[in-house]
Structure 1
Amino acid sequence: MTIQAQLSTFNFESNSIRTLAINNEPWFVAKDVCDAIGLTNSRISLIALDEDEKGVSLIYTPSGQQEVNIISESGMYTLILRCRDAVKKGSIPHRFRKWVTAEVLPTIRKTGKYESKTSVNDRTGLRNAVNMLVSRKGLIYSDAYHLIH
């Protein structure tokens, strides 16, 4: 499955987790989830998943369009359950599991998306990046914003 979709990015501690909705279901960039729970090779981790738990999506990056491996909610649970550290209280994989199941997924189910809280400083960087695209590339502000955010 190859999907081109709009990403939402949120942060867990020092990890950025990119997510997208496909048929109103949350999908996650596999590498981001693997990095968050300490799995060093996302490609190997994906081998164990069922075909309906993984796919490929085209995303836009600053260097252009890129194909990334994505995993479904079920696929993410499978990776977490196979991670031994996800049951060790206080470990990063355990905190990630708790965060996803207690905060992220309930919010996605209720609102259709998850948005991390941003500070004024977070928005300043975004605003500066959008303004730079508008001035250098001649883009319309809303188009530049959607490319970045």
Structure 2
Amino acid sequence: MSTLTFNEVNFNPVERNGQIWLTSTEIAKALGYARTDNISRIYNRNKDEFTGSMTATINMVVKGFGSGEGNKRDLRIFSLRGCHLLAMFARTDIAKQFRKWVLDILDKEVGAPVQLPSSQLTSEQTLPLRNAVNKLVGRSGIMYPEGYKIVHQQFGVKHIKDLTLEQLAQAIEYVHDRILSLNVEKTPISSFTHNQYIMNVKHEVMDYVYSLQKAIVDSGSPLPKYPRFDKEEICQAFIVSMIQSNRMMLSFDHNGKPNVGFIPQEHAVVSRESLSSVVQFADKSQLPSIINEAVRRLGQ
């Protein structure tokens, strides 16, 4: 099989089942990676999206990456469809050009334009975009459906999972540009309410996490798996927090049925013993209603 060339990278195609397959070593060079194992990392991170017709492992003599010596070892190879999917996950500057080149070779191989099946993005892949939309919602005051609608309309999709990987990167940049265009001045911390301060800290953490994710992806390393939280424990923690931060009153009706209710923060709990000491500070105009309410409650 004749040699293929892409940007001065010469491929030595492997013929398998009558089709063109390329080695991970040569694909790494074409995509601009300094290390061959970057291709292995991309594959391992997304192996559930590769079928048996896209990749395989064979035993062959391979020249050292960057040296003239060779040795026989197992090497992963990819069909042209597999190469296209690899380039979809790659984050190098030349990945887009490589994808187009692969499609041109596919067209020549099958003799007709090739329609590659589209695959939806995973929740892990869309996480940076969801973080950006969360930040846009927090900074602009719009509702979440409206925040996602902005992305849907800009890229002509019904759901962010329908974006391509190339569009995903563009969407993240687009949302961050929308955030910057708001020109929201930072409120001095001294005038923050508690909720405003918590929201500000949340946005700062999201920015930091997004930067970490981008650095990890750019390095070719896999992102850690998203943590799984125990919903029951979260509910229990929420209930405990709610109980600890609020005052409650337990009462019983005439049938002995218990009733638990929250006491508003601006209200005071008065016992029989302390009623007289509290009443002396009340306005005289309020005394009749206080006495009537006290008699009614004492009668219960």
TM-score (ref. length: structure 2): 0.29
Alignment check: 8 A CA contact 2:83 2:102 kept = no
Alignment check: 8 A CA contact 2:3 2:10 kept = yes
For the pair 1:23 / 2:23, whether they are aligned, the reply is no
Alignment check: 8 A CA contact 1:46 1:54 kept = no
SS at match of 2:12: strand
Alignment check: 8 A CA contact 1:8 1:20 kept = no
Q: 1:44 Cα shift?
A: 0.9
Distance 1:68 1:18 in 2: 14
1:79 counterpart residue number = 86
Query: Match for 1:21: what amino acid?
Result: E
Query: Match for 2:74: what amino acid?
Result: E
TM-score (ref. length: structure 1): 0.52
What pairs up with 1:1-149 in 2 under 5 angstroms?
A: 8-39=2-33, 40=35, 41-47=38-44, 48-49=46-47, 50=50, 52=52, 53-60=54-61, 63=70, 65-85=72-92, 91-102=93-104, 104-110=105-111
Computed over aligned residues only, the root mean square deviation of the Cα atoms, in angstroms, reads: 2.6
Gaps of 5+ in 1: 1-6, 86-90, 111-149
Gaps of 5+ in 2: 63-68, 112-300
Distance 2:43 2:2 in 1: 22
Alignment check: 8 A CA contact 2:80 2:102 kept = no
Structure 1 or 2, whichever has the larger Rg, is: 2
Q: 1:94 to 1:25 in 2, by over 3 A?
A: same
Distance 1:81 1:43 in 2: 14
Count of equivalent residues: 98
Query: Match for 1:105: what amino acid?
Result: L
Q: Percent identity?
A: 20
Distance 1:29 1:54 in 2: 10
Q: 1:60 Cα shift?
A: 4.0
Q: 1:25 to 1:82 in 2, by over 3 A?
A: same
Structure with more relative contact order (C-alpha pairs < 8 Å, separation 6 or more): 1
Distance 1:17 1:93 in 2: 16
More strand by share: 1
Q: For each residue in 1:87-143, what CA deviation from the matched residue of structure 2 results, as whole angstroms up to 9, or x when unmatched? A: xxxx522222222212x2223334xxxxxxxxxxxxxxxxxxxxxxxxxxxxxxxxx
